[in-house]
Chains A and B, each alone.
Chain A
Amino acid sequence: MPYIALARTRLAVPRSMFAALPYFALLLVALALPLAGQEYWTVIATRAAIYWVLVSGLNLVVGFAGQLAIGYVALLTLGAYTASVLVERAGVHPFLALAAAAVVGAMAGVVVGLPALRLRTFYFAMTTLGFATIVTQVALAWTGVTGGGIGVPGPSLAAPFDTAQGFYLLCIALAAACTWMTLNAANSRFGRSLVAIRDAEVAAEACGVAKARLLMLVFLFSGALAGIAGGLFATLQSYITPDAFTFDLSVLFFIAILIGGRGSVLGPLLATLLLTALPEFAAPLVAWSTFLYAALLLVIVLLVPGGIADVLDFRSRRALPSGRAVVPRIQLLPALLSYGVSRDDLTLRGIALSFGAVRAIDGLDLDLRPGEVHGLIGPNGSGKTTTLNAICGFAVPQSGTVRIGGTTLPLGAAPRRAAAGIGRTFQTPRIVGEASVIDNVMIGGTILGRATLIETLLTLPRHRREEAALRDRAMTALRLVGLEALAAIRADRLQHSELRFVEIARALMPTPRFLLLDEPAAGLSAIEIERLGQLVVAISRQGTGVLLVEHHADLIFAVCDRVTVLNLGQTLASGTPAEIQAHRDVVEAYLGR
């Protein structure tokens, strides 16, 4: 195993270059295209480049964050009109107008995206559709500015961009820049957090991902790109009327991402090229084009939900070694967890929480101490997981307090718990299946990042430093739980027991002061449970306070320093394992001996 790990690290550099290969190949083809001497193909390629400028940004929204923004043609329209109207009616320099289009697009992006914070999937999709309708209607009605149905001329650029070739090269340069920027964003804490929001929202919140802020940033960025694309689109069209901004365009953008594959940059890029060029090869089928797009979408969704990116992902089709064993290396713990002098307890006082008429917890007191493992047991429905959720902010108690030392934590507010030093795992592992194991672990370190989105997009030094440090740390965490050989593997290929350890590694990333484990032994073999127990004890001995919710009584009594027994939302008994095992009520009610 260590040998494989070594081989993988040595391969790391060439592989990233290998990954860049398709992009350079595409760029080379793009630059060579004008040499073919056919202006027609140059124009089609220009169109593809412009669409990609929009789709690359939208990809972060749809492909990464999983927000189903269907009506993005609205932002293209806004960008096109902003640039055209400023140049035509106010005599603004075309490049300034393009910048203005980016600003308007960014603002509109936030307006379109805002409902995503409150509305789920289908509802959000509908609002974006409505927005697209409204923008066209306004463009038609606001005749004084937009020219109504007559429209406005698109901005014409000065030399050297006034020829088809010059303009093409400008668009290719922008498209290349967008590819580079979105790749940077994708391989950063931003990209990972977006994917986490999409596939494991609860885990993302537990890791401290600030969903609202992050989504707004992404909508801002994708809106700006859509605005720029709109300005370029207007130049390419030479003249814009509301008729040019058809719903079919929206469908093209949206479908390109899904055909390309969610969470990929290369896939949607290829799909955008494909969907732009395909109708040109199949001119007689033009009447059927939207029908065929739709059919393609259906086939992709039903048969290859991963899209082109999945088809190209040869690595994930290689068989994994069978008979793998998870062997934690407890000696690595000091490298990962090192604490200051804080010895504050986590205290719950008088927590009461009911769902409708059902009282899930009824006036609970609990103390977690640093350096100790605290077991929480009780029959089904006794309020164990609810207690955990109340601590983590996923459930909001009607009364009571949660404190760390002298600081009272706000009830609810799950995304702020990671920063307060609380980490957790879940009853069923909440993992991003389509991301690699190491990426999943790195999600745990989200709150360690300081670099802004701009620094990330441009890979400025602070971002690079942080990213390298985070990756190092994640690798250490994986070595600790004994999974480093699987670091680059897609998480959904792992066994259930391995995922439990991935979750622990993820939770340890930000050095939590308190670690809450929700039935971590469920589904593990006897030997794995034993190793888990050793790991849990070792973690607590580093100074972490561990809360262990478990059904395996043996594990509880083997590793816990203190045990609380819940029944019907109340403390039935509390004490050392020995005391509990001797407690008559517990023995009768729960242990059944």
Chain B
Amino acid sequence: MLASIIASGLALGAVYALIGITYNVMFAASRVMSFTAGQLGMLGGVFGALFVGRLGVPGPVGLVLTLAACAAVGVLTEIIAVRPVLASLEKHLYVLSTLAAALLIQQLTAIEWSTEPQPFPRLLGLGSGILDEKFWLPVLACAAVIGGLEWMYRRTLVGRAFIAIAEDNFAARALGLPERRLRMASFALAGAVAGLAGFSSGQLLLAFFANGAMLNFYGFVPVALGGLGNNRGAVLGGLALGLFQQAANFTVGGVFASVLVFTVFIVVLLAAPQGLFGAPAVRRV
């Protein structure tokens, strides 16, 4: 029992954490929270099932294609739903434009793909029981993303430029950084991260259009708990959420579990609106 809770809790937690990182990466470059984060995760599963399952592309190639497709959708989001409203950020129009974009993605998937969950192929054929690949692939993906991001932010020029943009948009532009190109790049990166989340959890979540809304919400919880822009907070928050949710599923089951998760989320959020690990306060006048 405990082993099962931990296996599926960590797996789901890793997926939530990755979606949380997706929110963060988008936010860092644009100061925008986008409703498309969860939908990109859903697309990771759908594209994976399409490429590897339906079209029979080999796994690694399918992964690359999926990430590329999700990155493209990420960039598309930036172009149609984020860039046009950046000029008046304080009006919060981005909430509406990204909500619209998210609904468009979800409905299009429902109509063109299927409204029923579709199978996701087995990738490696490794492990069984609680050591099945479907449980540890998301965790592996999460570790890879965190490691990759840390390396990128610390060691590469692009990574440092990302940090500069995140810390002070205007100053970064004044320094001559190509702010728009970096923003597009980080939306591509966010798309790829979400795509990886969907791809690695495909066997667990299946290729299902309704996963988008679910991931949107549960992927947001780690951001709210861990503090906006705080990737390590998102990972801790995500894993905690996954374990808590699965423990609730095991002990009280279905309906009550989701009520419980939501209640805890609201209470924590109201008690610490900046998240448990903090995010900088903004000066108003």
Contact = CB atoms under 8 A, between A and B. Distances in A.
Q: Do chains A and B touch in the complex (CB under 8 A)?
A: yes
Interface of A: 66, 68, 70, 114-115, 118-119, 121-123, 125-127, 129-131, 133-134, 137-138, 140-141, 199, 201-202, 247, 251, 258, 287-288, 290-291, 293-295, 297-298, 301-302, 305, 355, 385, 389, 394-395, 426
A290 B97 contact: no
A70 B35 CA distance: 12
Given A119-B269, A129-B217, A134-B259, A394 B104 contact: no
Nearest to A297: B100
B265 A302 contact: no
B107 interface: yes
A355 B285 CA distance: 13
Interface stretch (B49-57, B88-96, B145-153): B88-96
Interface in B62-96: 80-81, 84-85, 91-93, 95-96
Given A68-B96, A125-B99, A291-B107, 5 more contacts: A258-B96, A293-B103, A298-B104, A385-B285, A394-B284
Given A140-B255, A290-B103, A295-B104, A301 B97 contact: yes
The 6 closest A-B pairs by CB, nearest first: A294-B103, A291-B107, A298-B100, A122-B33, A297-B100, A141-B255
A138 B265 CA distance: 17
A138 B217 contact: no
21 contacts: A114-B270, A121-B95, A123-B224, A125-B95, A126-B220, A127-B266, A130-B266, A131-B262, A199-B91, A202-B285, A290-B107, A291-B103, A291-B104, A293-B103, A294-B104, A294-B107, A301-B97, A302-B85, A302-B97, A305-B91, A394-B285
A107 to B, nearest CB: 16
Contacts of A389: 285
Contacts of A288: 107, 111
Nearest to A518: B285
Interface string B248-278: 0000000110110010011001100100000
Nearest to B103: A294
Interface on chain B toward A: helix, strand, loop, or mixed SS? helix
Nearest to B92: A121
A130 B262 contact: yes
Contacts of A125: 95, 99
Contacts of A301: 85, 93, 96-97, 100
Given A138-B259, A290-B107, A297 B266 contact: no
A134 B111 contact: no
Interface string B141-183: 0000000000000000000000000000000000000000000
A134 B256 contact: no
B197 to A, nearest CB: 18
Nearest to B255: A141
A122 B100 CA distance: 14
A288 B111 CA distance: 8
B206 interface: no
A133 B80 contact: no
Contact of A302 (B84, B224, B255, B256): B84
B103 A115 contact: no
Nearest to B104: A294
A119 B285 contact: no
B108 interface: yes
B29 interface: no
Nearest to A303: B84
A199 B93 CA distance: 12
B93 A133 contact: no
Given A141-B256, A291-B103, A115 B284 contact: no
A123 B103 contact: no
B101 interface: yes
A298 B259 contact: no
A297 B94 CA distance: 12
A426 B80 CA distance: 34
B104 A287 contact: no
Nearest to A119: B273
A297 B96 contact: yes
Nearest to B105: A294
B269 A123 contact: yes
A408 to B, nearest CB: 22
A130 B262 CA distance: 7
A467 B269 CA distance: 39
Nearest to B224: A123
Contacts of A130: 217, 262, 265-266
B149 to A, nearest CB: 22
B270 A426 contact: no
Contacts of B80: 298, 302
A133 B258 contact: yes
Interface centre among B81, B84, B100 (most CB of A within 10 A): B100
B264 to A, nearest CB: 11
A294 B100 contact: yes
B101 A298 contact: yes
A220 B96 CA distance: 24
Nearest to A137: B255
A258 B97 CA distance: 11
Nearest to A296: B100
Interface in B97-152: 97, 99-101, 103-104, 107-108, 111
Contacts of B270: 114-115, 118-119
Contacts of B262: 130-131, 133-134
B92 A295 contact: no
B88 to A, nearest CB: 8
Contacts of A199: 91
A234 B172 CA distance: 56
A295 B101 CA distance: 8
B107 A297 contact: no
Contacts of A251: 103
A133 B262 CA distance: 9
Interface in B6-27: none
B111 A291 contact: yes
Nearest to B84: A302
Contacts of B95: 68, 121-122, 125
B275 to A, nearest CB: 10
Given A118-B270, A298-B104, A394-B285, A68 B85 contact: no
A126 B111 contact: no
In this complex, the member of A140, A287, A302 whose beta carbon has the largest number of chain B beta carbons within 10 angstroms is A302
A516 B220 CA distance: 42
Nearest to B221: A126
